[in-house]
Structure 1
Amino acid sequence: MSVSVGILYSSQRLIKLICDNLMTTNEILEQFTKIYVARTPYVLDLCRTCRWVEISPTGFLQVTNRGLEILEAQSITEKLRIQIKHYIYTLKPTWSKVLHYGRKEALHHFPQEIIQCFKEAELLGDYSLDNSIILWWDIVGAFSRSGVEEKKNSVGRRGELLSLQYEEKRLGVPPTWKSFESNFVGFDILSKVSKDDDSNLSIEVKATVSTTDNISFFITNNEWNTASLTKNYLFHIWSLAASSVLYILTPEIIELSIPSNKGNGKWESVKIEYKKNELESYKAKEGI
């Protein structure tokens, strides 16, 4: 079942109509050829498939909790975002399986009508001006991954946002958040070496909320290959337990814990663990 901007708006009208009037399916089909811009049978089918409306035991159509969530949204943009999320959760369209690739990467796999839906819902806008865009992409991205915990993903995002703030404060200009747009570049943030050196600096961000004396994180083979081949590359390791503490490590330090490929074996990811006191000398200076 395909969807378009017009059909989403038409669905909003139908949900409101059913909320305000006691009507059966046949009554709606007989009285309305179209709901707003879309044919009534299709709009009704979408609303029932996405479980925005249902038939009550008495035979009348009624709005579900999902439908009420749309009606109670404070803006048109929010309504559309909720609808798109419900559509993804319910129908699991093929294009939704790439949502966790990152925004820019995912768009390459979207049909044109879906891109238009995302544009209308302002999900392709400037995330620095609207944090809700980040939250929406993270929620549906976690769902499309099917197995990656949303909590784990949100901890990682917290670390990335803190690194973005840290770099902007250090340089006076905002860095580029690469991992929000693509998960295939091998690092999270593209910054600059210093205010006096305009050379690119690639930053991979790791974060943990562990309250133990150990800090652990995973590094993938792709991340390490990028780190080992990139001229200016750093690891930002955030401890977010009681307060936010940043440790900055170079690839040379990380390399001591990287395994080797032997025989027919090839490592895909490695867990690295340090005692906090081991990292004390790598703690970022406060006030930068």
Structure 2
Amino acid sequence: MPTNLSRRVEGSAVNLAYCEIDEQRLIGRLVVNRPDVLNALNVDTAQAIQRAAAELSSRADLRCIVLQGRGRAFMAGSDLSAFAEDFDRAGDVVNALLDALEPVIHCFREHPAPVVASVQGAVAGAGLSLMAACDLVIAAEGTRFMLAYDKIAAPPDCGGSYFLPRAVGQRRANALMYLGESWDAQRAEQFGLINQVVAADRLADVTDAMAQKIANGPSRAYAQFKTLVSESRSDLQIQLDAEREAFVSATRTQDFKAGVSAFLSREAADFIGK
């Protein structure tokens, strides 16, 4: 039997995320563990994910990394209540979130091991961006994919404007943002956003099988291929910086305040373009 060594990564007050390393099979897992709010990302969660990613980054012997969200959703984007607490400090919250999450993106892209996202339920906002930064994606039937930034009058972050057009093409990425489209798993597979759709009760088994297949494969060749792909799109940090500047700027607008407030109160926002 494989030996599982789990290293739990503590947030400021409660356990928010953990990474689990299977020493025998050389597979690492990063599991976002805030299921009561659909794994919505606040600063504590983001920092916990960053520490878990750093743990995985230190393990050059890993041959596959799996990203998951515990519970009925993968990640429902940012926790907007943090913005609504003080709109004057919303830009500071964005910077704190991205200070934690951008290193995670670089971990996914720079670690030699392929990264597999295993997703279910809601995949929205920054959760969609983080998923798109992975090398392979398996989704359960019933999963929904959306950017949803249009609802809060903000641009994408976490590399969404970088990875999504490269995955699905500019026109389809435009539809996610401008039209607020929500894709089911079958459509996401058809458009190239994900690799495979499986029955919800088979997601864990199929994910394990894929991770094991990768871990048993020619890891050096995989690492070389991953490096070549990454070097072919070497302007990632430039795009991340531009996204951050745009999002922080958006938090100062009336539309952002209206969008966040309307979202939290489950009402329709009235955007005025200011």
The interval holding the TM-score normalised by the smaller chain is under 0.3
Highest CA radius of gyration, 1 or 2? 1
Higher relative contact order structure (alpha carbons within 8 Å, sequence separation ≥ 6): 2
